[in-house]
């Protein structure tokens, strides 16, 4: 019995180590989990990209789920996901708010004119302060916020239809079902 253990124990330990290392290989080391999930969404009130006389505020969005998409014309991944965002906006499930991060105002407006505007409103974060409050470290990032103002989900990297249907839609449905009274 002791001899059998002498063989099996190192082998089992090595196998366990191998499993850990193999799982570690599948992970993306540049992915930083957000501490914001399940916490109240950071508030901002910023000038609207198209007209600085108007503001876009997180306070206006209470009572329904909404999506915050962080983008900039300098960001390649944002161009990549743009058509997907347009398709999502057409499905008209939730309002999508754009947060234009450290961008050139004219270039950003031109981008929306040329490629189409998927956003209900775009807030201009010229100094990047709102982005820091949201723990943003690379565009594009997309957040889902619940009707009670908590952050439900965060997707880092360009949005795809697969991520939208698998991760966002079920959570939106659940949020809408969970808080029908607070609509409006």
Partner 1 sequence: MTRLLTVLARTLLAAWLLAFAGHALAIDSQKAFEDPALQARYEHINRELRCLVCQNQTIADSNATLAQDLRREVKEMIAAGKSDDEIREFMIARYGDFVLYRPRLTATNFLLWAAPVLLLLIGSFIGIRYIRRQAAEVDTDSPEAGQS
Residues that bind partner 1 (CB under 8 A): 29-30, 32-36, 102, 127-129, 131-135, 137-138
Residue closer to partner 1 by CB (options 118, 140) is 140
Residue closer to partner 1 by CB (options 145, 172) is 145
**Smallest separation (angstroms) from partner 1 to the CB of 142:** 17
Residue closer to partner 1 by CB (options 34, 117) is 34
Residue closer to partner 1 by CB (options 35, 180) is 35
Q: For residue 57, what are the contacts with CB-CB under 8 A and spacing of at least 6?
A: 43, 44, 45, 46
**Smallest separation (angstroms) from partner 1 to the CB of 35:** 4
**Smallest separation (angstroms) from partner 1 to the CB of 81:** 19
Separation CA 36–CA 42 (nearest Å) = 9
Task: Please enumerate, as own/partner, the contacts of 131-135 that have beta carbons within 8 Å and a separation of 24 or more.
Answer: 131/70, 131/99, 131/101, 131/102, 133/42, 133/44, 134/36, 134/41, 134/42, 134/68, 134/70, 134/99, 135/34, 135/35, 135/36
**Smallest separation (angstroms) from partner 1 to the CB of 89:** 28
């Amino acid at each position: 019995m002791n001899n059998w253990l002498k063989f099996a124990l190192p082998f089992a330990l090595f196998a366990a180590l191998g499993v850990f290392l193999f799982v570690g290989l599948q992970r993306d080391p540049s992915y930083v989990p957000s501490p914001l999930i399940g916490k109240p969404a950071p508030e901002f009130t910023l000038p609207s990209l198209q007209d600085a006389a108007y503001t876009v505020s997180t306070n206006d969005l209470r009572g329904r789920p909404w999506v915050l998409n962080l983008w900039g014309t300098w960001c390649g991944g944002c161009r990549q996901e743009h058509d997907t965002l347009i398709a999502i906006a057409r499905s008209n499930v939730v309002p999508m708010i754009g947060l234009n991060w450290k961008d050139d105002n004219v270039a950003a407006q031109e981008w929306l004119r040329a490629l189409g505007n998927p956003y209900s409103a775009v807030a201009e974060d010229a100094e990047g302060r709102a982005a820091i409050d949201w723990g943003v470290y690379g565009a594009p990032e997309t957040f889902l916020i619940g009707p009670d103002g908590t952050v439900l989900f965060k997707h880092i990297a360009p949005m795809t239809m697969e991520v939208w249907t698998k991760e966002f839609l079920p959570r939106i449905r659940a949020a809408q079902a969970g808080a029908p009274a607070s609509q409006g």
